[in-house]
Amino acid sequence: MTDHRTERATQAFVDQRNLLFTVAYEMLGSAADAEDVLQESWLRWVAVDPDQIRDERAYLVRIVTRQALNRLRTMARRREAYIGPWLPEPLLTSPDVADDVELAESVSMALLLVLETLSPTERAVFVLREVFEVGYDDIAAAVDKSPAAVRQIASRARQHVEARRPRETVSPRQVATTLASFQHAVDTGDLQGLLGVLAPDVVLVSDGGGLKQAALRPIIGAEKAVRFLAGISAKTPGRITCEVASVNGTPALEFRISGELDGVLMVRVEEGLATGLYYVRNPEKLTRLASNTVLTRR
């Protein structure tokens, strides 16, 4: 490839990089794997003659989608050996992500977990169509299906997600109100005070990856969830503090022990109560909380 073509290809990739990362992350739930997918996609992109490309954005999304599908199959084998529940990797995001309601919902922990229940192809089709509004013909080219088949897959995936996604869209302010109760409980040591903001059938999922203390299966029920959190607090040496941060487009709590980041708690709020608690402690999944990750649908 000539220097001119290399520069052109590089500029096109850089221009679309934030979009491509967002596509890969929503398909994989892992920033580390999304970065690997982008690297693999770059190697394939620079081998293409740009003069033969009608729509660079669509072509790049197609390459990333194919690489992400390959990575999903590899990740499935890794998940089988994972210790305890697996949660998506949390990302520190700028407050403006919350301004795009559809983007914020699409990267929320609650929806990413719903996407985990789809097949790889269903997930790719749903993400491309519902989040990024990619046309059926372009999706078909990306997943090696006919446009008619893609329409059927999209409909099936949409119904599956709609049946499992949160029933209402909750504002960041409502989430922050719930988190304030957690922050007060940590500051005062009164974890029993959390019962007023937890739904009776709240589900607590903790991800330690075998590296930090976490429950090996989801904990169901407000009393059990509080006892679990109290147990971690009692066994943790050093002073526990927490502060609110924007994680995956919504307020979350970062927990620190003697100043060092120990975990992040995200909540699913419905009708004013926390119905889902997602607590990531695996240190390998906390690396993207040091600086903002730019996410975009455009």
Concatenate the DSSP letters of all residues of the chain into one string. --HHHHHHHHHHHHHHHHHHHHHHHHHHS-HHHHHHHHHHHHHHHTTS-GGG-S-HHHHHHHHHHHHHHHHHHHHHHHHHT-SS---PPP-B--GGGGGSHHHHHHTSHHHHHHHTTS-HHHHHHHIIIIIT---HHHHHHHHT--HHHHHHHHHHHHHHHHHHS-SSPPPHHHHHHHHHHHHHHHHHT-GGGGGGTEEEEEEEEEE-TTTS---SS-EESHHHHHHHHHHHHHH--S-EEEEEEEETTEEEEEEEETTEEEEEEEEEEETTEEEEEEEE--GGG-GGGSS-------
- Tell me the whole-structure pTM to 2 decimals: 0.94
In which residue ranges of the chain is pLDDT below 70?
Answer: 1-2
Handedness of CA 279, 285, 289, 292 (dihedral sign): negative
In contact, 172 and 250? CB cutoff 8 Å: yes
Centroid of chain to Cα 110: 8
Q: Which tens digit of pLDDT belongs to each residue from 26-74?
A: 999 999 999 999 999 999 999 988 778 889 999 999 999 999 999 998 8
Q: What are phi and psi of 202, to 5 degrees?
A: -55, 145
Query: Which pLDDT does position 187 carry in this prediction?
Result: 87
Query: Which pLDDT does position 29 carry in this prediction?
Result: 97
CA distance 141 to 139: 5
Contacts of 59 (CB under 8 A, 6+ apart): 48, 53
Query: Which pLDDT does position 2 carry in this prediction?
Result: 56
Among residues 267, 113, 262, 273, the alpha carbon closest in space to that of 204 is found at 267
Query: Which pLDDT does position 234 carry in this prediction?
Result: 86
CA distance 12 to 94: 24
Query: Which pLDDT does position 168 carry in this prediction?
Result: 77
CA distance 58 to 41: 13
Q: What angle do CA 18, 19, 22 make, to 5 degrees?
A: 85
Query: Which pLDDT does position 1 carry in this prediction?
Result: 47
Entry field: residues in the chain: 298
Q: What are phi and psi of 68, to 5 degrees?
A: -65, -40
CA distance 126 to 239: 43
